[in-house]
Structure 1
């Protein structure tokens, strides 16, 4: 089953310094019929304007992944971590019983990132923080697994049993991905356009994919996409 989610039907917000597109109920976008997709609780497509950002704030019992699309983000947290990440790089945070962090765009250009919140398998797990600097060539015309579970094989590993893949696919090229039994996929077309199992997705559209055995992704134009594979729920 394929359920296309056009960007025009998603929640949006514009706070001046921050523009967001909400894939699920979040902040001022309240939709009790659109809370989550399996263990995926939040997916926000954020544009943080120059010299602004999220000041110090708390999180607990959530696993948070940030995928930097354009620009750069400056991170600082109560565990003593401090770093700058750029386009294509991935940051992860398993908040456990509580952590404070800030995320700022200290540059003079806009920052775009996907903010992904995953529900952990248990409450109050030990806190984790890390990042990985993937290179553009790792995802050019192929799938790159950027996140896996602790038992998986990605450079970024979190507690929950999910796998996150990205790719930048040239026009007219295609990729296939086998979906294992009792697994489901949430697909995000970040930039460009694709056919996903023959359904067209344009930039910022998404798709829920349940009870399918295979994904066939064909780039209509140069295509940048991400998808999250997880257990059916």
Structure 2
């Protein structure tokens, strides 16, 4: 089963310093039929103006991933961490029993990032933070496995049975992705334009994939993120 999520129909917000597209219900956007997808609770496609950002605020019992598309993002938290990442890099935080953090664009240009929230496999973990600076070339015309469960083999490991991959596929090339029985995946066409099993996706569109393998054909250079997980019962 495939279902395209057109970005033009997503929830949105414009606070001036922050412009967002919401793949799922978030903040003032509420759709009772679009709360989550499996263990995936939030994907916000955020544009943050220079010298702006999210001031210190709390989280608990959530696995949080920030994937930078453009610009830079600086994280600070109550555990004493402070780091800046740029295009193609990832920050991850297990909020666990509770943590305060902030995220700011301290650069000179507008930043774009995907803010991703994933339910943990249980509550009450000890809070944890990390970041990883992936080489951009590691995802050119091949899948870069960035995130897995603690039992997986990705460099970033979180408290849930989920795998996160990124890809930059050159115009005219194609690649497969397998979604096995009792598994599902959510795809974000971050940049570019592609055909997926004869369905066209443009930049910022999404797609739900359930127990179906896909063939991605790049009509333009395509930057794609896939989150693969157990199927929701």
> TM-score with structure 2 length normalisation?
0.98
Residue 138 of structure 2: aligned partner: 138
In structure 1, how many angstroms separate the alpha carbons of the residues matched to 2:122 and 2:202?
36
In structure 2, how many angstroms separate the alpha carbons of the residues matched to 1:185 and 1:173?
22
Measure how far apart 1:139 and its partner are.
0.4
Measure how far apart 1:211 and its partner are.
2.4
Q: Deviations over 1:105-156 (max 9, x none)?
A: 1111000000000000101112121010001110011110111111111111
Does 2:77 correspond to 1:51?
Answer: no
In structure 1, how many angstroms separate the alpha carbons of the residues matched to 2:221 and 2:62?
33
Residue 77 of structure 1: aligned partner: 77
Residue 173 of structure 1: aligned partner: 173
Residue 160 of structure 2: aligned partner: 160
Measure how far apart 1:177 and its partner are.
1.6
Say which SS state the counterpart of residue 137 (structure 1) adopts: helix
Say which SS state the counterpart of residue 171 (structure 1) adopts: coil
The unaligned stretches of length 5 or more in structure 2 are: none
In structure 2, how many angstroms separate the alpha carbons of the residues matched to 1:83 and 1:207?
31
Residue 41 of structure 2: aligned partner: 41
Does the 8 Å CA contact 2:180/2:211 hold for their aligned counterparts?
Answer: no
Residue 201 of structure 1: aligned partner: 201
Measure how far apart 1:173 and its partner are.
0.5
Moved over 3 A (4+): none
Residue 225 of structure 1: aligned partner: 224
Aligned-pair Cα RMSD in Å: 0.7
Say which SS state the counterpart of residue 29 (structure 2) adopts: coil
Report the more deviating stretch, 172-181 or 33-42: 172-181
Q: Deviations over 1:156-209 (max 9, x none)?
A: 110100001110110010111222220001010000011111211000111101
Q: Deviations over 1:49-105 (max 9, x none)?
A: 001000000000000000000000111100111111111000000100100001001
Say which SS state the counterpart of residue 154 (structure 1) adopts: coil
The unaligned stretches of length 5 or more in structure 1 are: none
Say which SS state the counterpart of residue 75 (structure 1) adopts: strand
In structure 1, how many angstroms separate the alpha carbons of the residues matched to 2:63 and 2:14?
25
Say which SS state the counterpart of residue 145 (structure 1) adopts: strand
Say which SS state the counterpart of residue 204 (structure 2) adopts: coil
In structure 1, how many angstroms separate the alpha carbons of the residues matched to 2:165 and 2:178?
13
Does the 8 Å CA contact 2:179/2:209 hold for their aligned counterparts?
Answer: no
Does the 8 Å CA contact 2:24/2:41 hold for their aligned counterparts?
Answer: yes
Does 2:28 correspond to 1:24?
Answer: no
